[in-house]
Amino acid sequence: MERMSDQRTRMPWGLYTVGGLGGLLFGYDTGIISGAGPIIQNDWRLNAAQLGFITASVLIGSMVGALAIGGLADKFGRKKLFIIAALLFIAGGFFCMFSQNFAEMSIARIVLGFAIGAASSLTPTYLVELADKDHRGSVASMFQLMITIGILVAYFANLLFLNHNIGGLADWRWMLGSELLPAAALMIGSIALPESPRYLIKAGKVELARKILEKRLKRDGTQEIEEIKAVLAKSQGKGTFKELFSVSGKSVLVAILLMFFQQLVGINAVIYFVPKIFQSAFHFSSANSIWISVGIGAVNVISTIVALGIMNRFNRKSLLIFGSIEMAISFIIIIILTLALGVHSMGSAIVTMIFIALFIIGFAVSWGPICWIMISEIFPLKVRGLGTSIGSAANWIGDFIVSQFFTILLVAFHNNIAGPFAIFCAFSILSIFFVKYMVPETRGKSLEEIEENMDEKKKKA
Where on the chain is the footprint of ligand BGC (CB under 6 A)? 30, 144, 147-148, 262, 267-268, 271, 300, 368, 395, 399
Measured from the CB atom, the residue of 178 and 395 that comes closer to ligand BGC is 395
User: For ligand BGC, which is the closer residue by CB, 217 or 397?
Assistant: 397
Choice between 125 and 268, CB closer to ligand BGC? 268
Q: How far is the CB of 112 from ligand BGC (least distance, A)?
A: 16
User: Between 99 and 138, whose beta carbon lies closer to ligand BGC?
Assistant: 138
Q: What is the DSSP string of 433-448?
A: HHHHHHPPP-TTS-HH
Cβ atoms within 10 Å, residue 261: 23
Residue with smaller CB distance to ligand BGC, 19 or 197: 19
Q: CB nearest ligand BGC: which residue? A: 368
C-beta atoms surrounding 64 within 10 Å = 16
Min CB(371)–ligand BGC separation in Å: 7
Min separation Cβ 401 and ligand BGC, Å: 12
* SS3 assignment for 204-236: CCHHHHHHHHHHHCCCCCHHHHHHHHHHHHHCC
Taking the complex as a whole, the smallest distance from the CB of residue 317 to ligand BGC amounts, in Å, to 18
Residue type, 1: M
**Within 10 Å of residue 65's Cβ, how many Cβ atoms?**
29
Residues 6 or more apart from 450 whose CB is under 8 A from it?
377, 378, 440, 442
Residue 425: which region, alpha, beta or left (left: phi > 0; alpha: psi -120 to 50)? alpha
User: Which residue, 54 or 145, is less far from ligand BGC as judged by CB?
Assistant: 145
3 state DSSP class of 314:
coil
Least Cβ distance, residue 303 to ligand BGC (angstroms): 9
CB 187 → ligand BGC: shortest distance, Å?
23
Residue 148 to residue 153: CA distance in whole angstroms: 9
Instruction: Confirm if 99 and 170 have CB atoms less than 8 A apart.
Output: no
